[in-house]
Amino acid sequence: MLRTGSEKAAMPDNGPAPMIGVEGLNVRFGSAHVLKDVSFRVAAGESYGLVGESGSGKSTVLRVLSGLNPSWSGRVGIAGAALRHRPPKSFFRQVQMVFQDPFGSLHPRMTIDAILAEPLAIHGIGDADRRIERALADVGLDGGFRFRYPHQLSGGQRQRVAIARALILEPSVLLLDEPTSALDVSIQAEVLNLLQDLKSRRDLTMLLVSHNLAVVGHMCGRVGVMNRGVIVEEADIAELRETGGRNPYTRELVAASRRVSLGAGAA
């Protein structure tokens, strides 16, 4: 079912609690009203996408859900528990985030081994050697990468390390902020397929943010379309592909995505 305009993504009280539940989320930075009554829900094991242009508020939603932005109002729940404005350390074992830029998200003076060992040490988790080896293997990197530095890796390899770092704490929720936009087109599909495989093997719930509707469509069954801090439409991807959307902004995004796809096919 499509919901548009003032038809916000309602959160019914009946039925099982979602893994991610957001209702009436508002964020203000000074006089700027960045998020305006954002509501959506994501079931356990689902991949849900938020799509829209830069500045639409997508990444701000992720920063709230990841505990990085404590200034918000509304109701937010993760795994049936209310999100605190300043979550406890235990929260970060359950919810992890992969950032957009693999070149900036890894400490340049730390080896991959140290980067992966750090979250284990923070949370007092032992058996670091085995966990690091498994984390690297899960993202398709062998043990030879452990003692390299980020600058010795390609962009795709760095993003695989960033994914390994997020998963080494065995979270149930993975937040993805434009995880392929900084990568070469030839590498993007590899990373998306890796994420799909990890989701299936680890039964992860994923929330993916992107300006690229094709990327969201590759990963997600449902999508919320954001414009100027508002979810203007929520739809199943299959229905969106068939109808092009009901909201004018959604139709523009779908049309632009199709033009890009046609151009890539002709290249």
Q: What is the pLDDT of residues 123-156, one digit of tens each?
A: 999 999 999 999 999 999 999 999 999 999 999 9
Dihedral pair phi/psi, residue 208, rounded to 5°: -110, 130
pLDDT band at 260 (very low <50, low <70, confident <90, very high): low
- The DSSP string of 2-65 is -EETT------SSSSPPSEEEEEEEEEETTEEEEEEEEEEE-TT-EEEEE--TTSSHHHHHHHH
List the CATH number of the domain containing 111.
3.40.50.300
Sign of CA dihedral 266, 50, 187, 152: positive
Q: Residues 6 or more apart from 15 whose CB is under 8 A from it?
A: none
Segments forming the whole domain that contains residue 229: 3-266
Written as six digits, the tokens of 22 are 């957001």
Strand-pair category, 20-29 with 32-42: antiparallel
β-partners of residue 97 are 175
State how far the Cα of 226 lies from the Cα of 163, in Å rounded to an integer: 25
How many structural domains does the chain have?
Answer: 1
Higher pLDDT, 5 or 51: 51
Q: What tens digit of pLDDT does each residue of 87-121 get?
A: 999 999 999 999 988 778 899 999 999 999 999 99
State how far the Cα of 203 lies from the Cα of 173, in Å rounded to an integer: 9
Nearest CA to 137 out of 166, 115, 164, 111 is that of 164
User: CA 17, 91, 158: angle at the middle one, nearest 5?
Assistant: 110
Q: What tens digit of pLDDT does each residue of 27-74 get?
A: 999 999 999 999 999 999 999 999 999 999 999 999 999 999 999 999
pLDDT band at 267 (very low <50, low <70, confident <90, very high): very low
Nearest CA to 139 out of 98, 202, 188, 198 is that of 198
Range list of H helices, 139-247:
155-167, 185-202, 213-219, 237-243
Nearest CA to 19 out of 172, 236, 233 is that of 172
